[in-house]
Chains A and B, each alone.
Chain A
Amino acid sequence: MENWEIVHVPDNPPIPPDQQPTVDVIASFVDPKVANTLVRRLNQIAQLENLRHVKRVKKKFVEGGRTQLSVILCLASEIGNPLESIPHDVQELMNSYQLSPFITKVCKYAALSKEEWEEQCKLWPTSYHPPTYNIDGITGFSEEDSQSVFGFMKYAIQLAKSGDKMVVNAAVIVDPSVKQVITTACDQTCPWYTPANNTTLETYCFEKTEASVSQSQSDGVFSYETLHSNSLPHFPKQLNTGVCCLYPWGWAEQQSDTNSCSWHPLRHAAIVAIESSAARDIHLFPSLGKIQDKYAETEHIHSSSVGSPAKRQKTHSTKVNDEAHLDSNDEGSSSLSVRPYLCTGFDIYLAWEPCIMCAMALVHQRIRRIFFAFPNPNAGALGTVHRLQGERSLNHHYAVFRVLVPEEVLSRDETAAAEYN
């Protein structure tokens, strides 16, 4: 791979547009003058159940600038001769307009992409509605948004490599509306994992949340990179056995150090990130109601303005700072005033495609979009082994994207590591 690229992973496995399933219908050429009346009557007596995406009328330009119209009369019966089992009402209509029926094919399912739709229309015209849930990115990314996606993915990959001994999976939860990192996490299933980096980063994120929303995303990512560029193991040549979404059942085979107290078979990066974002939510919004938040703020002013006389001068400056702090809070509150419900509106960047446990956890936590860099052939739940985004019964649906990472990004890091050593 030479360039960054974002690929939407659709809800259903992509079907080659020319291999879409079809069904037979009974149609007839009609005189354009009577087409309207006919269609209206047909919609009453022979609705096309389950074929709402199929248009009733097909228009074809023929020689001499004339148009030829054909209309679907009804579905073709699958048993026996379809032309002999036309419903009585339709038969009457055919007789009165002297129509001669023929059997033709239409696509059985609504098109999922523009490409599929174009192919369908060659057979018989259909309508195409881009995905009903309106999630940014399904229909493409702007240059600015793409750059932001690449930046966050780069960060997730850096984190995945930041462990001491192994490559692990890493998660970065982002609020895309302000291009800001909400939290980060790495796999914590294994005894050898040391979460030291994570803590500092989390603190950094909290501070960032409260203070500098305005900091540009690219700057942010750059500083993260410099933070981490000193600890890069060889990648991706190394076996990725540390990535627990790849080997969810592998924990029992791991040699455990009984002195270590930090292993847990379910603490995959996404699960830890969700936990951390929930903790952040409680930290930022200790009480559930907005009114109570206001109360907390007034109390804060009150307590800081009552200083001991000896510290009066200092109190004064603190007060100014407090006001500035409050101002910035107010600015921030344009995005924070409504506490998001769980991770509604947030994106998550994962180095590897998550396993089914993590994928479902992200449904529960209401993540809006998932970006992953590397497919997970063993247990991937977003298109490889399972395709959770296609389970319509779930109460929440996210959009899934795979980010193709240029080879040079991965190898450059190796060189960086080599130089550093």
Chain B
Amino acid sequence: MEKLMKTNRRDFLKVAATATGGLFIGFYWSGCDSPKMQVLTDEEVLSQAFNFNAYLSISPTGDIVIYSPNPELGQNIITSFPMIVAEELDADWAKVRVFQAPLDNEKYDRQLTGGSGAMPHSWERLRKAGATAKFLLVQAAATKLGVDASELTTSNGEVLHNGKKKFGYGELVSDASKLTAPDEVPLKDSKDFKIIGTPVKNVKNNEMFTGKPLFGLDFYREGMVHAMIQRPPFGMKIKSVDDTGARSVPGVTDVIVFKNNVAVVGNSTWPLMKAKRQLRIEYEPDGPIESSFDHDRIFKELLDSKNAQVMRKDGDVDAAFKNAAQVITSEYQCPFLSHSPMEPQNFFAHVKGDKVELVGPTQTPERARMETAQLLGIPKENITVEITRLGGGFGRRLRADFVVEAAELSKLLDKPVKVTWSREDDMTGGAYRPAVRYRFQAALDDQGNMVGYKLRGVGINAGNSTRENNFPSGSVDNLLIENIDYKSPITTNAWRAPITNFLAYAEQSFLDEVALAAKKDPVKFRLDLLARAKNNPVGEIHYDIDRMKGVIETVAEKSNWGKSKELMQGFSVYFSHRSYVAQVADIIMENGQPVLKKITAATDCGVVVHPTGANHQVRGGIVDGMGHAMFTNMTFENGLPKQRNFDSYRLIRMKEVPEIDVHYVDSGYDPTGLGEPALPPTGGAIANAIFAATGKRIRTQPFIEQKEFSEIRLQIRRA
């Protein structure tokens, strides 16, 4: 069945027979994987291509230009977005060239990467972009042939009549691009997809694997200066600066103090790294100066505070707990974390009078522009933002602090400048995942039914550390979710799967405790709660019960849940960012020692557009969730992180990763996002497997620093 889509959104208002131009520095297609005939240069193709819409131009040679508007940080939308356009266009993928579009909010909506939202947001738009152009090409062909368009079909970049090729798309673009785009276009039935759902190679492989300049840090401009910045500890301000030593380093041309920062400036990076160490900066307090033991005390105080914000309340919680046959209470805690993308923060800025050029790795180019406009008092129309590839983001690059400081320095220096953060700058520069402590309580009746549930979250700059309408809300008669947010000078920010990246671990571990106390199988316990929510919901339900049930049942089947005496298994399921992921971790005993062997995941993210990319996001999310749950800690002493580089800030490595078995549930939904949802369940699945294997419940991250964990001596080996 074909769907009819209206095309009157703003990305389609630009349909016109104008050739595309524009600036696409450093991005060019040269796939090494396919037998492409690279006859024309990108410039040649772009100069003669006809523009069909914001995403698509086609040249008379049949070369197809597809623009990917959203920042690329490893989620591979630079491949999967064009796949969707090419699918509906019936394009020959070998003739597709992909370009990263610069920021253009006249052409594009939501040109950002965050919240696992790019694919759900753009799915229809991209399909229509291809389908509309195909429609016009067919119309042009029909006119030329003097037949009705309904007699024509398309395949692989060609228009056919009675199954015979009549025109290549290139022969039609001049005529087609003059036609008016229709309000509605038919879209393909998913069973006819030829590109979507296939493992198309990443369009940037050749450039990535041969060392071409792609990332922000790879951007150099004739005449630019380099800068590095010493930023203050949290809660401190500059009292005095002695820059004598820094200025004496050969290659350093300037030292500038601005807004509590000290910038060293020069013509290359290394002298700046040396000069920064020579800076003698005296700081003085500018607010509370906190250490990790302060946070531990704050957690304890606030968990017992009388004043908490009620996020959700169902039934009569006090009565439920008073009359309970059994009450289970547990606390869970997670530390601050740095995002630590492999590419440290950096940005290029060139302020030229009332115009600004920005180039670099940002998840939010629009925010970069807005904050720069505000800072400099320059109209945002005068600011261009070129989006380079991002060497990871994880939420850190949603901010624009690293952009505006470059813009400010460029203005102060009156020069183009690239600001580079060292790893230490990146790790001490703030915007962390917040630290949170939770207290969970469950009331069971004498049948083992969960009749009461309480959660209080206390976060350090976490905002709302709960997800009050998420499961198990809706399945419990008496429920109270509370939040307390402590304001700290230590800055925090969204970190891949914000809040849920630790809430899921805590909640799914706690539900495991409750299932055990209720003497129920952990999977059955969840399914019973979901059945309750389905048949007799309590209050509002903000998750899809059937989709959650689907991934639970699939992961139970694929992991042989409960079927093997040899396997000690831990189960977890979580809904975040519109998608559902259930996981089972397997531990087996080898020579008397527990060995984590495998994690099985079942994911419902709707249509899997790009299986390679999807597998990457699921596996990568699990590795990310596992690594940080097990190994990574960030602690503070007097307003400064104690972990400043990868020698003390431990990231997961190859030998610490078990086998990961990935499955998908086809629920028939359009794509619902996958950059984040696989991460949240992992910590809980592992903690629950550890309990199943050893009887030790690990309630604090990172696991490796907990006394109970060191006694277990868990090994990790692939099956």
Chain B binds chain A: no
